[in-house]
Amino acid sequence: MKLVTFTVQGRTRLGEVVGDTVYTMAWADGMTSLIRRGILPSRTWESFPLSSVTLEAPLRPGKVVAIGLNYAEHARETGKEPPAEPVVFGKNTTAVIGINQPITWHTSEAKEVDFEGELAVVIGKKAQRVAEADALDYVFGYTIGNDVSARDLQKEQWLRAKGMDTFCPLGPLLVTRDEVPDPQALTIQTKVNGKVMQDGSTADMIQSVRALIAYLSRYFTLEPGDVIMTGTPPGVGKARKPPVYLHDGDTVEITINGLGTLVNPCREITE
């Protein structure tokens, strides 16, 4: 199923996307609640043209766990060797926005804002010390994420650099696990203003989705609705010569096959 959180006629609903139509779900008390129940409700008779609704972030995660340097070529383009163990950090849940919502930052606080297209994994059930072989059983589904990063702040404080409000776009769809047979067989492409900047594959991850879930669940509990950002392929703005950072009026598009395209405009706030 391709699930969405959407607003129409002043009301925010849950729905299933089929073609160009979104069908409302039988009950609508939030995506995280749906995930926790573990039962996918049926569609109702009510439907809307997809073009007539406003898509929101598909869910509000309990926590966002992010992985750094999980593609060998991305590690090398930053001047680092690929890590032997996952590099783990967090992003604030207040950073989450949806498709078409603007990525914003104050130029007095950040000037080197970068993009990172990523596969985002949504946990479906409580995971504690799970075996790698069983790890995908704990996945509810997948969406697209953008690990927006203020590189000038990242030198000192990763949470501040990557956790600012609007620095975690997610969406547009939350695609259930059954529609993604192999999360290591997905293409990721990031464009800025129509120009391809990243063009990679999840097959190139150092740590697979299975391995990440097993590793993380050894140290802390993963709960339904938690999101794991799995790292970005090479091509980020900081690594380019000269660097290519985001500016007011830019548009970032991230496409993962089967998951759609996440589009966000950029807005610089000057004071």
Is residue 113 domain-shared with residue 6, that is, in the same domain?
no
Please, what is the end-to-end C-alpha distance for the chain in angstroms? 44
Please tell me whether residues 168 and 260 are part of one structural domain. Answer: yes
**pTM, whole model, 2 decimals?**
0.96
Phi and psi at 166, nearest 5°, equal: 80, 0
Q: For residues 25 and 157, state if they share a domain.
A: no
Q: What is the CATH number of the domain that holds 31?
A: 2.30.30
Q: Give the Cα separation of 51 and 230 in Å (integer).
A: 30
- Chosen domain end from 55, 84, 100: 55
- Range with lowest mean pLDDT among 62-66, 68-72, 183-187, 190-194: 68-72
31 with 159, same domain: the answer is: no
Query: Are 49 and 149 members of one domain?
Result: no
Higher pLDDT, 114 or 40: 114
Single out the residue in 11, 35, 55 at which a domain terminates. 55
Residues 79 and 203 occupy one common structural domain = yes
Whether 83 and 193 share a structural domain: yes
**Count of domains for the chain:** 2
What pLDDT is attached to residue 28? 62
Domain that holds residue 174: 64-269
Average pLDDT (121-146) is 98
Q: 155 pLDDT band (50/70/90 cuts)? A: confident
Which of 55, 75, 91 finishes a domain?
A: 55
Q: How confident is the model at residue 177 (pLDDT cuts 50, 70, 90)?
A: very high
For position 68, which CATH number holds? Answer: 3.90.850.10
Looking at the structure, tell me whether residues 22 and 125 fall in a common domain.
Answer: no
DSSP 44-113: EEEEEEGGGSEE--S---S-EEEEES-BHHHHHHTT-PPPSS-EEEEE-GGGEE-TTPPEEEETTT-S-E
**Same domain, residue pair 147 and 13:** no
Q: Do 47 and 74 have their domain in common?
A: no
The answer to whether residues 248 and 223 belong to one domain is: yes
Question: For 180-231, what is each residue's pLDDT tens digit?
Answer: 999 999 999 999 999 999 999 999 999 999 999 999 999 999 999 999 999 9
Same domain, yes or no, for 126 and 207? Answer: yes
